[in-house]
């Protein structure tokens, strides 16, 4: 089965062609994976501007789809089915991909399936490494999400924990902005952290001593994990701590985190120490909670996907922890960990091979429960 997939949930216009292989261990083959990034457009504004993002998707989508077909050396007639990100994401962005994919499906008379964006991130791991030893615990960590899923069997995903406030990538981007490092902040902090002392700045580790405060949403899997919040994350307190420390050091911090600014009187080594210390706290919190969940749920492997899984310390620390605990840690290559359409094709194929399709009147959904 040959699938053409489209992903436009945020600021990347992406299309890919993926086929089934018939090999149970490595079920899919990626024939093309094309991404038009809008990062240069949004950088000027210090973050993604939704209206600009949807307009740019409209400009880019035809070319991106043509290129994906061309790279795969196939035509629209060869495509057996379409897959498209239905949500969650920016609704204006999602709408461009959904309307385009539905129109193609209607014109070609081919089936279409709407895909949950995070199912795509989870399946990017399988696209890269083949089937994960199950049950698996997967951390999806990006600019929009920090969520832990249990994958009890192929194509089933159960939410077991998630951030109560900011996503990890969002925290990276906000702290980078406070330090005057530009957008997106993750790669800049990752690079500078390598030159800093990760114990130089005393930043708090998130703790959940008040279980009733801001409790997790009801769609979480109940049971011991839900009751103890051992699989929840929180990053907004860390960001506030960075603001306070910068103020103490005489750096004028913009309130509202909207104005890109210069780190002022801080020297470069000081900024590097901030980056290293911030990164240590974020990565320790991600790794600890992921492995605690893996332990509690008796997982046979750990997966990490999403834009923040590009982080060098997260990759290294998770691999080391997995080695110590005898658990395989599976992370896709960077081009598959950030938003792409090949992962949407893979998650779509999970449904399509079971005969699941979406009716042509399905709609884009900014928030979508999996
Ligand atoms: O998955 P993604 O491409 O888009 C979303 O769905 O959000 O993730 C983008 C996020 C941004 O917040 C960016 O700062 C972060 O991933 N990121 C990183 C690194 N590379 C990208 N964060 C930490 N370290 C990195 N090396
Ligand atoms: Zn994503």
**How high is the pLDDT of residue 369?**
85
**How high is the pLDDT of residue 299?**
97
Q: Which atom of ligand 1 is nearest to the CA of 121?
A: 1
**How high is the pLDDT of residue 218?**
46
Give yes or no for residue 182 CB within 6 A of ligand 1.
no
Q: Which atom of ligand 1 is nearest to the CA of 167?
A: 12
CB atoms near residue 97 (< 10 Å): 27
**How high is the pLDDT of residue 223?**
45
pLDDT (tens digit per residue) in 144-181? 899 999 999 999 999 999 998 999 999 999 999 888 88
Among the bound ligands, name the one nearest to the CA of residue 278: 1
Burial class (CB in 10 A: 0-12, 13-18, 19+), 35: buried
**How high is the pLDDT of residue 212?**
47
Give yes or no for residue 27 CB within 6 A of ligand 1.
no
| Under 8 Å between Cβ of 72 and 32 | yes
pLDDT (tens digit per residue) in 212-244? 455 554 444 444 455 445 678 999 889 889 888
Ligand 1 centroid, distance to 116 Cα (angstroms): 19
Ligand 1 centroid, distance to 309 Cα (angstroms): 8
**How high is the pLDDT of residue 258?**
39
Residue minimizing CA distance to atom 22 of ligand 1: 186
Ramachandran assignment for 33, one of left (phi > 0), alpha (psi -120 to 50 degrees), beta (any other) = beta
Query: 12-20 and 2-7: which strand pairing?
Result: antiparallel
Q: Token digits for 252?
A: 């004028």
Ligand 2 centroid, distance to 359 Cα (angstroms): 24
Q: Token digits for 187?
A: 């790669």
pLDDT (tens digit per residue) in 305-341? 999 999 999 999 999 999 999 999 999 999 999 999 9
Residue 254 has pLDDT above 80, yes or no: no
pLDDT (tens digit per residue) in 264-300? 567 889 999 999 999 999 999 999 999 999 999 999 9
Q: Which residues pair with 147 in a beta bridge?
A: 140, 162
Ligand 1 centroid, distance to 96 Cα (angstroms): 22
Least confident of 37-51, 74-88, 117-131, 201-215: 201-215
| Under 8 Å between Cβ of 114 and 5 | no
Mean pLDDT, the chain, rounded, equals: 90
Test site for ligand 1: of 172, 173, 366, most ligand atoms within 8 A of the Cβ: 172
Test site for ligand 1: of 11, 143, 191, most ligand atoms within 8 A of the Cβ: 143
CB atoms near residue 144 (< 10 Å): 20
**How high is the pLDDT of residue 142?**
92
Q: Which residues pair with 140 in a beta bridge?
A: 147, 305
Q: Which atom of ligand 1 is nearest to the CA of 172?
A: 14
**How high is the pLDDT of residue 256?**
43
How many Å apart are CA 354 and CA 98, to the nearest integer? Answer: 21
How many Å apart are CA 142 and CA 314, to the nearest integer? Answer: 13
How many Å apart are CA 27 and CA 349, to the nearest integer? Answer: 9
Residue 97 has pLDDT above 80, yes or no: yes
**How high is the pLDDT of residue 159?**
92
**How high is the pLDDT of residue 227?**
45
CB atoms near residue 362 (< 10 Å): 15
Tokens 């210390």 correspond to what residue? 277
Give yes or no for residue 89 CB within 6 A of ligand 1.
no
**How high is the pLDDT of residue 292?**
93
Query: 81-87 and 2-7: which strand pairing?
Result: parallel
Mean pLDDT across 107-130: 98
Give yes or no for residue 283 CB within 6 A of ligand 1.
no
How many Å apart are CA 251 and CA 273, to the nearest integer? Answer: 15
Least confident of 83-87, 168-172, 257-261, 310-314: 257-261
Ligand 1 centroid, distance to 90 Cα (angstroms): 16
Give yes or no for residue 60 CB within 6 A of ligand 1.
no
pLDDT range class, residue 205, cuts 50, 70, 90? confident
| Under 8 Å between Cβ of 341 and 14 | yes
């Amino acid at each position: 089965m040959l699938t053409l997939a489209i992903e436009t949930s945020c600021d990347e216009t992406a299309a890919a062609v993926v086929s089934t292989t018939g090999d149970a261990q490595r079920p899919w083959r990626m024939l093309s994976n094309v991404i038009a990034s809008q990062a240069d457009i949004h950088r000027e504004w210090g973050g993604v501007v939704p209206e600009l993002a949807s307009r740019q998707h409209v400009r880019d989508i035809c070319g991106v789809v043509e290129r994906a077909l061309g790279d795969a050396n196939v035509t629209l007639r060869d495509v057996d089915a379409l897959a498209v990100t239905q949500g969650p994401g920016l609704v204006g962005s999602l709408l461009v991909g959904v309307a385009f994919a539905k129109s193609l499906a209607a014109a070609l008379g081919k089936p279409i399936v709407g895909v949950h964006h995070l199912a795509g991130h989870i399946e990017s791991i399988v696209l890269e490494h083949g089937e994960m030893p199950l049950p698996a615990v997967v951390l999806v960590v990006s600019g929009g999400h920090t969520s832990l899923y249990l994958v009890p069997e192929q194509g089933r995903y159960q939410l077991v924990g998630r951030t109560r406030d900011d996503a990890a990538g969002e925290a990276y981007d906000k702290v980078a902005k406070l330090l005057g490092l530009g957008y997106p902040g993750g790669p800049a902090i990752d690079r500078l952290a390598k030159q800093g002392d990760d114990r130089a700045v005393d930043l708090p580790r998130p703790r959940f001593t008040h279980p009733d405060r801001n409790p997790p949403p009801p769609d979480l899997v109940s049971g011991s994990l839900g009751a103890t919040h051992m699989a929840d994350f929180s990053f907004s307190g860390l960001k506030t701590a960075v603001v306070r420390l910068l103020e103490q050091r005489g750096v004028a911090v913009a309130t509202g985190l909207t104005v890109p600014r210069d780190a002022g009187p801080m020297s470069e080594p000081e900024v590097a120490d901030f980056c290293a210390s911030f990164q240590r706290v974020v990565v320790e919190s991600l790794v600890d909670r992921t492995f605690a969940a893996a332990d509690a749920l008796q997982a046979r492997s750990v997966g990490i996907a999403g834009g923040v899984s590009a982080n060098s310390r997260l990759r290294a620390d998770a691999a080391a922890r997995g080695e110590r605990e005898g658990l395989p840690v599976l992370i896709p290559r960077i081009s598959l960990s950030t938003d792409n359409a090949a992962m949407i094709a893979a998650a779509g194929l999970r449904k399509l091979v079971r005969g699941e399709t979406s009716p042509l009147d399905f709609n884009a959904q900014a928030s979508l429960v999996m």
